[in-house]
Structure 1
Amino acid sequence: MMRRSNHVPPARDVSVDSVDIAVVSANLGFESPGKIPPSEKTGARDSDPRRLRPDSRDPLEGPCGGLSLPDRLLRQLHREGVPRVLFAGPSDTLSKIRELLRRGRRPDLWPRTIEFRVARGEEKYPEPSGLGEGRKFLLLPLHAVIDSYLLRLLLSAEKSLFVSGGGTEAGVVFPGAADTTVLPVERLVHYDPSVRKTRRPILHAIRSREDIEEAERLLLSSVQKEVLDLPGRYFDPIFEDRLVRLIAPTAITPNMVTVTTTTVGFGIAAAFRRGFLRAGALATLAISTLDGVDGKLARLRIETSRLGEGEHFLDFLYENSWYIALGKRLGMPRTATAMVASDILDNLAYLTIQKTAGKMIDELSEGDRFFRLIAGRRNIYSWIFVVGFWFGRKRTILRAAAFWAAFTAAVHWIRVGMVLLATADRSTNRQV
């Protein structure tokens, strides 16, 4: 029995063995499963512009966020610990999937077992073999882009559950279960700590090139962090998104972008040391854009790495090399040292809050979010340097940046004290 529900179950952490197999069906989510509408076969004019034209490229190829649809789904399932995937559909569709996977650049990011089965007639999906007693399996649409949050939600389900929306559906099936819950995707708006914003999960059917463009727009929006400084929120994304769109279909990896950014970052320090202050300051603006590209590209193409996880440490090194180089060039070593010390203290404040509250300082309240817009950080200093160096106020502007760095660290440590006191009070109240 199918039962609609407005109750949203929590997406808990799931183990690798939580599901044995994911069935990816080419017939799921279509009004006429596995068939192209007659108007598209004959080439007749169709009033719906979103339908696939007979002379257009198969939308299965994408690229959507730089990946074909099968490649994207396999990477997501591998990251969620699903060991086995079964593609089901018409024989010509399965041949196309095999061809696309042969072109895949990162098979190491796929589940270890990939199978293919021709669907019988118009069956929506075959029931997989080899399931253990009481085990469940994922049922996912092939012609769709699905959010990783939805995958985790389905993996954590304790009974048959389907999520519907965006012209398609996805679910988890317990064979033999009498009751199935259907949940509209609109009800799954949630706070995503990885991008620090509230958003709706993506479940979007792909039947045309227009659908791919819309899905790519949704994906780019989903990987854009929200709690940022003014340049990072309103200026940098304009260029970041263009670069990510250009790079995503190529063989350029997020690690390559990280190495390039770090190399340019230390090159800017050398430029400052040699006295090229204006050119160096302008280059820091380029760094601000490049620094956001590798993370977006990694999240978009599902290619996280150890180097990417340690990127913030590399940022810390080359950013502070700028301040030291400027201090030496302008004969202000104490000012530069104070700026570096403030940056270290500020990072320690962030680590303390992360450990105590499980979130960033900027996520504690609306006031903290607002202060993040103008707080002392590399992007803010870059614009300060550009303006100051351009008008010849070199020493004054370095003092101003150092003051703002110290003020920012002081504000954040006040917030640390407030959080620690509140935590201690709650602990005391529980004991009483």
Structure 2
Amino acid sequence: MTDPSPAPLLWIDASRPAAGWRLWGMTLVERLLREGARRGLLRAVVVVSPESRPDAARLRPDLSGLWDIDLRIVDAGQARLDLVDSGPAGAILCDGDVVHDDRVLDHLLAAGPGSAVVGEDAVAAHLSAPDLRTLVSSADGIDATRLPGVGVRQLEELGHYVPELRLTMVPFLVRVADQDELRRVDRLLFHRTFKGVIDAVARYGYYHFVRFVTRVVSRTTVSPNLLTLLSILGIWVAIPCFATGQIGWGILSAWIGVILDSVDGKLARLTVNLSDAMGSLE
């Protein structure tokens, strides 16, 4: 039996201060680390600057409980070439101040070293070890898409359908340059948590309340799995309440169950804390 191929290294340039800005309870850097870990990228190098280090290096306490990531945080002026693997898997190169659609990472992993995806003002690439060394050692900040042999795809060329959400949406790479852009991508990510067409009750009945609750809980380490269990409990408790004539308690219990049933999935996607087992149970 042959050993499985090693996963690429995740190399994140978090030298810009926006990499440490928080979005749905975590920094943009940690969001990338979580998205990478979900895909088996458990070795990561985060390159920081003096301006970005205080925030970009700050991670949520629940991260280590979810994934065992071999994480190196290095200063921009001291990014060592010895951190770059010489193996065939290469490295996924991302900017820490860019919010990446997960389909971009999926495409780069499938395409292998020598591939890049280009957005309006951002690039993500899967590079071989020699190409990454060239970029790391360059003082001119060579664009990964200009390296010889790197195949470039535009965002619009990637698949638009998101099967797990049953919706069609153009992939995105959003560079967060200011607070207005941060608010825009905040709304984008929340909208992307809804499955298919948003029904009238969800859209107009409790949309904003669910968003408020999800935002509050995202700043804690409460697990989406706990909310799933509580939502199931709320629905089942409502049945005997209605059966025994306790209509008020039944309505309250059912309402809490419905709200938590909406919050748990959104929290899981927004904090990149997804559980296949709990999804099946639900």
TM-score category (smaller protein): 0.7 to 0.9
Structure 1 residue 85: Cα displacement: 0.5
Aligned-pair CA distance for 1:209: 1.9
Contact 2:231–2:259 (CA<8 Å) still a contact in 1? no
Q: Which residue of 2 aligns with 1:220?
A: 190
1:151 is the counterpart of 2:151: no
Cα distance per residue 1:141-196 (max 9 Å; x no partner): 01111122111111111342222225322111123573222222233342111101
Alignment of 1:212-291 (within 5 A): 212-227=182-197, 231-232=201-202, 235-277=205-247, 280-281=250-251, 283-291=253-261
Q: Percent identity?
A: 25
Whether 1:172 and 2:126 are equivalent positions in the alignment is yes
Aligned partners of 2:175 and 2:150: how far apart in 1? 22
What displacement does 1:81 show? 0.1
Which of the numbers 64, 74, 77 marks the counterpart of 1:117? 74
Distance (Å, rounded) in 1 between the aligned partners of 2:8 and 2:157 = 27
Native 8 Å contact 1:87 1:94 kept in 2? no
1:71 matched to which residue of 2? 30
Task: For 1:97, give the aligned amino acid.
Answer: A
Determine if contact 1:83/1:112 at 8 Å carries over to the other structure: yes
- Counterpart of 1:83 in structure 2: which amino acid? L
- Structure 1's 110 and 166: CA in aligned 2 closer, same or farther, altered over 3 A? farther
Q: Against the structure 1 CA distance between its residues 304 and 16, is the aligned structure 2 distance closer, same or farther, given a 3 Å change threshold?
A: farther
CA spacing shift, 1:113–1:68, aligned 2, 3 Å: same
Secondary structure at 1:179 match in 2: coil
User: Are 1:106 and 2:25 counterparts?
Assistant: no
**Separation in 2, partners of 1:59, 1:292:** 30
Deviation at 1:201, TM superposition (A): 1.9
Letter in 2 for 1:22: L
Deviation at 1:136, TM superposition (A): 1.9
Note closer, same or farther for the CA distance 1:165–1:61 as it changes in structure 2 (3 Å cut): same
> Quick one: which amino acid aligns to residue 105 of structure 1?
D
Look up the match of 1:21: 9
SS in structure 1 of the partner of residue 26 of structure 2: coil
Partner Cα distance (1:250, 1:260) in 2: 17
Distance in 2, Cα, partners of 1:135 & 1:240:
41
Unaligned segments of structure 1, at least 5 residues: 1-14, 28-33, 35-57, 313-432
Distance 2:265 2:36 in 1: 20
Query: What SS does the corresponding residue of 1:156 show, helix, strand or coil?
Result: helix
Deviation per residue, 1:71-92 (Å, 9 max, x gap): 2111111110012101124244
User: Radius of gyration: which is bigger?
Assistant: 1
Please list, as runs of the form range in 1=range in 2, the aligned pairs for 1:30-45 lying within 5 A after superposition. none
- Answer yes or no: is 1:197 the counterpart of 2:167: yes
Please give the per-residue CA displacement for 1:242-265, whole angstroms capped at 9, x wherever unaligned: 321222112332123223222322
Cα deviation for residue 212 of structure 1 reads 1.7
Residue 163, structure 1, aligned to residue 117, structure 2: yes
Hey, what does 1:90 align to over in structure 2? 49
Instruction: State how far apart, in whole Å, the 2-side matches of 1:234 and 1:247 are.
Output: 21
Task: Name the SS for the 1:167 alignment partner.
Answer: coil
Aligned-pair CA distance for 1:295: 0.9
Q: Encode CA deviations 1:106-146: one digit per residue, 9 max, x unaligned.
A: 2233452111333349xxx8756452343321100011111
How much does 1:94 deviate?
3.6
- TM-score relative to the length of structure 1: 0.54
Q: In the comparison of the two structures, how many residue pairs are matched?
A: 264
> Once structures 1 and 2 are overlaid, which stretch shifts more, 230-239 or 195-204?
230-239
Structure with greater strand percent? 2
CA contact (8 A) 1:143 1:206 kept: yes
SS of the residue corresponding to residue 275 of structure 1 reads coil
Distance change (3 Å), C-alpha of 1:104 and 1:283: closer
**Bigger proportion of residues as helix:** 1
How far apart in 1 are the matches of 2:257 and 2:244?
19
Is 1:81 matched with 2:69?
no
How is 1:401-416 mapped onto 2 (pairs within 5 angstroms)?
Answer: none
1:114 partner amino acid: L
Distance 1:142 1:233 in 2: 32
Q: Secondary structure at the match of 1:114?
A: strand
1:128 and 1:19 mapped to 2: Cα distance?
Answer: 17
Give the 3 Å change call, closer, same or farther, for CA 234–166 of structure 1 in structure 2.
farther
5 Å-filtered alignment, 1:347-362, equals none
Residue equivalent to 1:132 = 86
Residue 309 of structure 1: SS of its match in structure 2? helix
- Partner Cα distance (1:246, 1:60) in 2: 21
